[in-house]
Copies of this chain bind each other. A is one copy, B any other.
Amino acid sequence: MKENGRLQAAALPEVAHLKVHGRTNGSLAPLTLFWTGSALEFNIRGSEVWIEAEADYDQHEPWISIVINGSPVSRQMVTAGRHWICVFRGMNEQAVKNVKIMKELQAMSDDPGCLLQIHGVKYDGEFLPVADKPLKLEFIGDSITSGEGVIGAQSEEDWIPMWFSAAVNYTAMTARELDADYRVISQSGWGVLTSWDNNPGKNIPLYYGQVCGLLGGERNEALGALQDNDFKAWEPDAVVVNLGTNDGGAFYSPDWNDPVSGRSRKQRLNEDGSFNEEDLQAFEAAAEAFLVMLRSCNPQAYLVWAYGMLGVPMLPAISRAVDSYIRKSGDTRVSVFQLPNMTPESAGARSHPGISAHEQAARALSGYLKELLHA
């Protein structure tokens, strides 16, 4: 093999014009990618680029996608340890390439050992500035928003990172359609009030204010995951909330037993199969409170509760919550948008939406956002 003699290695802090996507602790030494869809982006005029990535985990390994000039070209697991990964080679050294190294796997709240970092690059040529997109979007959600099931056969059942994708799901598709930079805050199985299995500690609002507070362990704490997020630093034009699916599921799941207090809790069904009013109220109160929080964190953004890719049982409660919020706040930049339901044909792995279901959702949602944002 012929070595490229002109390659030079550099730690990220030594490199100009790098752009980071996703909430971050602000450090490039190294860059830690917490959330799915988080990415390192750069423009480079050169023939070859490598990145040095480091991964660790107790169970669940991170994956990355490499996106070149807007097109995903590679998707791979990053196993434990530090690895030099070649992004491209043998390209026209005069042409400028836009590169995104994107985290495919969501932040893993159950695996405090899970880590993905980028230490440095090896390259020839020069880095050039990356312009911001005209719009900024934030997506908040659960497994759907984490792209769970986008990859893999319909028959797959294991809950593993391999089936998750950020580069190919409705968040990336919607952002492309609107020509927007975007961030994703999502966690499989979580809701607004509880997780699918009634755990009240597993809800997004609890951690929304932090960089990535749902991550456990000392290392993540040391990395700043628990720090307050700097909302001033990145102000989205719209925040899309795709939550409620797991809150709905909780009504059909067994009690959750608090290992500490020993107490158990559950969203109850009435004998006729309808939702227990009191428990539904609790969900609505949580949803309304989350809107208050989202507004205080994002003073300028349109808030869009987008829901429905796996059925619409919680739509009335979501509508009531949004409504009650608007009434009390007088804040009219909030709305509910129903997403198209997955069909047997558009299903992916693990009974989750597949690519075509995400494409459909992105078409509908981007159409709605374009009107809202006059984009």
Contacts and interface: CB of A to CB of B under 8 A. Distances in A.
Given A91-B158, A162-B73, A341-B364, A274 B153 contact: no
Contacts of A329: none
Contacts of A14: none
Contact of A367 (B95, B315, B343): B343
A70 interface: yes
A332 interface: yes
A52 B68 CA distance: 27
Given A73-B151, A77-B86, A319-B336, A1 B56 contact: yes
Contact of A320 (B323, B335, B341, B368): B323
Contacts of A80: 1
A274 B367 contact: no
Nearest to A92: B158
B79 A76 contact: no
A156 B69 contact: yes
B77 A75 contact: no
Interface string A90-115: 11100100000000000000000100
A292 interface: no
A61 interface: yes
Given A274-B332, A336-B315, A89 B74 contact: no
Nearest to A161: B90
A160 to B, nearest CB: 5
A152 interface: yes
A155 interface: yes
A88 interface: yes
A338 interface: yes
Contact of A160 (B90, B113, B162, B340): B90
Contacts of A155: 69
A2 B114 CA distance: 11
Given A88-B162, A320-B323, A340-B340, A2 B71 contact: no
B319 A341 contact: no
A363 to B, nearest CB: 8
A126 interface: no
Nearest to A338: B338
A71 B153 contact: yes
A10 to B, nearest CB: 19
Given A73-B152, A75-B76, A91-B160, 7 more contacts: A1-B80, A63-B74, A89-B160, A274-B332, A312-B335, A338-B338, A341-B364
Interface of A: 1-2, 56-61, 63, 68-71, 73-77, 79-80, 86, 88-92, 95, 113, 151-153, 155-158, 160-163, 272, 274, 308, 311-312, 315-316, 319-320, 322-323, 326, 332, 335-338, 340-341, 343, 349, 364, 367-368, 371
